[in-house]
Structure 1
Amino acid sequence: METRTKITIALAVLLILIAGFVYGQDRAINPNQLPKAAKTFLFTNFKGVGIGSAVEDREIYGVDEYNVYLANGVKIEFDRNGNWKEVDGKHQKIPYNFIPVNIRNYVTRSFPQTFITQIKKGRWSYEAELSNGVEVEFDRNGNFTKIDD
């Protein structure tokens, strides 16, 4: 390969790395800058709990997601539109209002002495971690699919 071509390729790679470094960073934001859906979710489900910090995860094409850290230790991950993706109570009980009814009912019926400490919403499924360490998976309609303990 010609030296000039090698230099051109090396410069292109360097520019891509620099762009990724500059644009692919987390940035602290004021909670008022969160999307409306995220603010509504926080107000509805965590009313009275202060926001410790809000972070915007920026990619080269724009905001990828938001992470909100509450004063009580709970971490909530939102997509770029402000829809919740994950709520992690850090081993404490999380509110159930936003969790699909089928999931709430299954956990209450099948694991009466436990509570949900973390829930993740994927494209096609949900994963809930319980206070006893058991992970329970559901389809996108909230129907039980399997247990991972």
Structure 2
Amino acid sequence: MKSFRKITGAFILVFSLASGLIFAQDKAITANQLPKTAKIFLAAHFKGVAVGSAIEDREIYGVDEYQVYLANGMKVEFDSKGNWKEVDGKHQKIPFGFIPASIRNYAAKNFPNTYIVKIEKERWSYKAELSNGLDLEFDSKGNFKKIDD
């Protein structure tokens, strides 16, 4: 009887994992299928840069995020509502209009010969990567916290 329970438990575990993989899929979409907020962000900060491809990351409960790969090699991630989560310039200088002024000012003042190549917005913080490889961490209000190298 114990072996039957183990087999049944293993079967249920495998089935649960398999069904999760079936329903959690990435789907290629067009730029027009992005949420309005994401389209506005791209138009404002990446004017004239074509979208190379866009991916909708679907989970069981719905869309989790969107990943947009631009023709200039940069990558932008948006949450399910189209709010930016991460902008990765792939070692290129990223536009700064959407970056909080306190973060821009701190980087410019303390690292004048560098520029921001990547920024991540998390629930309670920001992380900015500079062209010299340093990672700066800020709180949710843009106040400097620490440097990681």
TM-score by length of 2: 0.94
Worse-matched range after superposition: 20-29 or 48-57: 20-29
Gaps of 5+ in 1: none
Aligned residue-pair number: 149
Are residue 123 (structure 1) and residue 123 (structure 2) matched? yes
1:88–1:117: 8 Å Cα contact kept in structure 2? yes
Residue 10 of structure 1, CA deviation: 3.1
Worse-matched range after superposition: 6-15 or 86-95: 6-15
CA–CA separation in structure 1 for the residues paired with 2:89 and 2:95: 9
Matches within 5 A, 1:1-149: 1-149=1-149
Q: Where do 4+ consecutive residues of structure 1 move more than 3 Å?
A: 1-8
TM-score by length of 1: 0.94
Determine helix, strand or coil for the equivalent of 2:78. strand
Worse-matched range after superposition: 90-99 or 12-21: 12-21
Amino acid of the structure 2 residue aligned with 1:82: G
Amino acid of the structure 2 residue aligned with 1:129: E
Residue 3 of structure 1, CA deviation: 4.6
Gaps of 5+ in 2: none
What is the CA deviation profile of residues 40-84 of structure 1, one whole-angstrom value per residue up to 9, with x for unaligned ones? 110110010000100011111111111000000000111111111
1:19–1:60: 8 Å Cα contact kept in structure 2? no
Amino acid of the structure 1 residue aligned with 2:63: V
Residue 11 of structure 1, CA deviation: 3.1
